[in-house]
Structure 1
Amino acid sequence: MGTGSLTRARALRGFVALVGELGGDGAELFARFRIPIDAVEGNDPDALVPTRSVARVLETAAAELGCGDLGLRLAQRQGPEILGPLAVAVEASPTLGAALDCASRYLYVHSPVLTVGAVPDPEGVRGVTGVAYGSTEPLPPQVADLGTGVLHRIVSLLAGGPYGLRSVHLPHEAPPAPERFREFFGAEVRFDRPAAVLRVPGDLLRRPVAGGDETVRAIAIEYLETHFARPGRTVTDRVRAAVDRSLGTGPVRIGSVARLLRVHPRTLQRHLAAEGTTFETVVDEARRDTAERLILRTDLPFTQVAAMVGLAEQSALSRAARRWFGESPRALRRAGPGGLPAPPVPAAHG
């Protein structure tokens, strides 16, 4: 996977010690696949290694050590810190849904081929939502286990403990000791499924994150936006990011966004037209996505939701919600997260 892509080296943090405990030589494996040990275990949070090398060293170690749950064991040693600066934005989010949105949007900072996001429950159970971990390329077993395991640990941390996990889907055949997976997740694990998914309560994404801080989150997102170029980023992406940051702070006008992007408003409109959209459409989509998150995943008053998406009054939010979703905000909130089809897992741009 990821022939030419790079992944944050911290994805392998703890590998050398783990392999040593299992009777192997982690440093030798790193040397074999040309992974600098200092990049993984050093203090540079921005050190990168080839994505293919990460997958190959994990699969090779698992095979040579006869350890089918190597990725899961490594996940046990990791947490949000492996995400580098993205971890700050995730941990400062007000709700678990906002944290997931942030992770899905900026996961390219960690690896451009990995994805995470909300999906409909793969078993179709009402009141259950899926949180999927995936890739733009097939996931090798140990990579799937490591990523899903770390995702589970991060959700547990943000939720303040057990979060009602219903079951776990993994996209590979069952290993020799499947009971180890149940012990790790504290729930049933089903193998040979189409995708890696945590099946969670439908209201989980509404739950607040302990220690959430909107000011810290905004600063962290600003840092991500200005220091890490999204692979293949379009003008539409850049406009959307600027609009997202501006919603609720005052009127969102093309002139102010154009100044942020250092182009003339007419030039910006031409670029957007070339990409098949308009400034007004981008603003409307940003309002829609933010309104959906705030209606379904928070208990904020609708007057406040309206203000946070840049609408003058609650009646304007009601009209917009009927146009976007075919329902009033009150009906949507009453139906809960299962009331709308969940969006597909966002693919990493590249």
Structure 2
Amino acid sequence: MERDIVRAGALTGYRRVVRELGGAPATLLAEHGLSDEMLDDPDCFIPYTGLMKLLEASAVRLGCSDLGLRIAAKQSMSTLGMMSVALRNAPDIRAAIKATSRSLYLHAPGLSVNMAPEFQKGREIVTYELSLQSAPRAVQTMELTMGLAVRITRMLAQRDDVITGVQFMHKPAATRVSYRRHLKLTPTFETNAYAIIIPRKGLEYSIAGANSEILAIFDSLLGLHSPNSGQSFDGQIDAVMTRLIRSGVAGLQDAADAIGLHPRALQRRLAERGTSFEAVRDAVRRRLAESYLAQKSIPLAHVAQLLCCADQTVLTRHCRRWFNMTPGSFRRHANENGG
């Protein structure tokens, strides 16, 4: 699937902010191959790298270092188009983040969202990652992205304390006062990921007016129109399981929901291919384990959690079966051999 695209809705508020700053949005858009007509149709896809270049150039031209944050302040749930249906109807914040991970390709195929627990700190890190090759400078784009993520998460929870931190990979682009005004907190900079931090209790905040039936229908349609639909079924289920495990879930029902099938139908299709859900999940876990165990900075107990294992003992059993050695032995072997 083409990744260098994004819905024009991502620029909702751009023209208004530029005018407020005394600029000419039509001129800036034209300089980057965009137009008012494109922005008038929020479901029109435009080049993602074009959006990035536009925002960086506009910030410089207008002398506005917090341009991305200002645009985010003009946006709302409707900015996300169809995927907002999933967010509004998720039962709680945890489910809304998982729905975001499943459906973000509808808005920005080149952006991915994943959730990782920090159990000792009692919180979860929700990361936002660009998956474009040779992406241009994107400070304003990522500040817009993170500003909107903060805004929407608080809208869903109807309380500000659902988010306790924001992380940026870049150095501060604007003043501390500007960040606090827009985000209602002081973010940290030069981190290893773009992320929002949600306390464990925040994930359980319920979403008012959520309708589970609407969410189920949306997920079914999502499976039918998944970007993986052009892949082989084997590739599709592998991609889904990888995404689910990274998101902290690994059950048959979760996979079936994500792929748009009834659990029995999913098992039946896998059986026709001589495999099973358990075998696919095991293969994905093994592949992810090889990656996580090779990273000395990740504690083994955390690796177990990232792989959705009940505890470190379960991880040890898996590793003995997969690699004929313990997790610690595999880590030493991988690092001794440059893994």
TM-score normalised by the chain length of structure 1 = 0.69
Aligned partner of 1:41 in structure 2 is 40
Distance in 1 separating the partners of 2:33 and 2:19: 18
Are positions 1:325 and 2:324 aligned together? no
Q: Relative to 1, partners in 2 of residues 1:39 and 1:222: Cα closer, same or farther, differing over 3 Å?
A: farther
User: Secondary structure of 1:103's match?
Assistant: helix
Does the 8 Å CA contact 1:239/1:257 hold for their aligned counterparts?
no
Q: Relative to 1, partners in 2 of residues 1:55 and 1:232: Cα closer, same or farther, differing over 3 Å?
A: farther
Distance in 2 separating the partners of 1:159 and 1:251: 30
TM superposition shift of 1:145: 0.3
TM superposition shift of 1:163: 2.5
TM superposition shift of 1:278: 4.0
The runs of at least 4 consecutive aligned structure 1 residues that moved more than 6 Å come to 283-286
Distance in 1 separating the partners of 2:164 and 2:267: 48
Pairwise CA RMSD: 3.2
Which runs of 5 or more structure 2 residues have no equivalent in the other structure? 241-252, 285-307, 314-339
Deviations 1:43-82 (A, max 9, x none): xx53100111110100000011111100000000112212
Are positions 1:229 and 2:227 aligned together? yes
Distance in 2 separating the partners of 1:115 and 1:68: 25
Does the 8 Å CA contact 1:116/1:132 hold for their aligned counterparts?
yes
Distance in 1 separating the partners of 2:11 and 2:76: 12
Q: Relative to 1, partners in 2 of residues 1:324 and 1:179: Cα closer, same or farther, differing over 3 Å?
A: same
Q: How does 1:1-350 map to 2 (within 5 A)?
A: 5-42=4-41, 45-121=42-118, 126-137=121-132, 140-230=138-228, 233-236=231-234, 238-239=236-237, 243-245=255-257, 252-253=264-265, 256-257=268-269, 266=272, 268-269=273-274, 278-282=276-280, 324-326=309-311
Provide the aligned length of Structure 1 versus Structure 2: 272
Deviations 1:188-217 (A, max 9, x none): 212222221212212211221111111001
Question: If each structure's helix is expressed as a fraction of its own residues, which one has the higher value?
Answer: 2
User: Secondary structure of 1:64's match?
Assistant: helix
Q: Relative to 1, partners in 2 of residues 1:246 and 1:196: Cα closer, same or farther, differing over 3 Å?
A: closer
TM superposition shift of 1:171: 1.4
Distance in 2 separating the partners of 1:120 and 1:29: 41
Which runs of 5 or more structure 1 residues have no equivalent in the other structure? 259-264, 270-276, 287-322, 329-350
2:128 partner amino acid: Y
Distance in 2 separating the partners of 1:198 and 1:152: 7
Higher relative contact order (CA 8 A, sep 6+): 1
TM superposition shift of 1:26: 0.8
Deviations 1:129-157 (A, max 9, x none): 21222212466110110000000011001
User: Secondary structure of 1:244's match?
Assistant: helix
Moved more, 156-165 or 133-142: 133-142
1:69 partner amino acid: D
Distance in 1 separating the partners of 2:48 and 2:165: 28
Aligned partner of 2:289 in structure 1 is none
TM superposition shift of 1:181: 0.5
TM superposition shift of 1:10: 0.6
User: Secondary structure of 2:126's match?
Assistant: strand
Distance in 2 separating the partners of 1:128 and 1:245: 26
